[in-house]
Amino acid sequence: MTIITSAEPDGGVHGMTANGVLSVSLDPPLALVCVGKSRNTHGFISADGWFGISIIRKDQRDIAMYYVRDAADRIGDVDVPLEQRNEGPPVIAGALAAMSCKVVAEHDAGDHTIFVGEAVQLSTSEGDPLLYYTGKFGKIELD
């Protein structure tokens, strides 16, 4: 599961839970995110030209649930640790992997826009990923 972060105009950090995320290219390192045109995140990425991708751990489920809510219902009841970056919005601290992406292309795709970003800063941590399957968040069970 991933959290897409973006910069709010007042300097705040905005989050959105997303599974429309894909790696695209190794050289240069590109990743894409599919963002609904009605999402707050859409306006923030369009205006700022940057987004963060954080692949979160299974024990960060509360953060995924928090950033699914409508923005008006995010009342600060979940602690979201953030990590500042050299460029672009902060990412989720302690995420399995996080990258800061500068938008290099935008593709219209129905009610979503595909933002392609060049990853300029990548960080990784240890842990197990949070997954989403059949409408539920969960974890991998290996034999």
**Binding region for ligand FMN (CB under 6 A):** 16-20, 34-36, 39-41, 68-71, 132
Minimum CB–partner distance for residue 69 and ligand FMN (Å): 6
39 three-state secondary structure: coil
Least separation in angstroms between residue 42's CB and ligand FMN is 7
| 69 vs 139 by CB, closer to ligand FMN | 69
In the complex with ligand FMN, the residue whose CB is nearer, 56 or 119, is 56
Q: Which residues pair with 133 in a beta bridge?
A: 136
Q: What is the smallest separation between the CB atom of 80 and ligand FMN, expressed in angstroms?
A: 13
- Strand-pair category, 136-138 with 131-133: antiparallel
Cβ nearer to ligand FMN, comparing 36 with 129 = 36
E-strand spans in the chain? Answer: 2-7, 13-18, 21-25, 30-36, 50-55, 82-83, 91-92, 97-109, 112-124, 131-133, 136-138
- What percent of the residues of the chain are helix, what percent strand, and what percent coil, each to the nearest 5? 15, 50, 40
In whole angstroms, the minimum distance from the beta carbon of 78 to ligand FMN comes to: 14
Query: Closer to ligand FMN at the Cβ: 77 or 126?
Result: 77
Rounded to 5 degrees, φ, ψ at 68 are -85, -30
Q: Which residue is nearest to ligand FMN (CB)?
A: 20
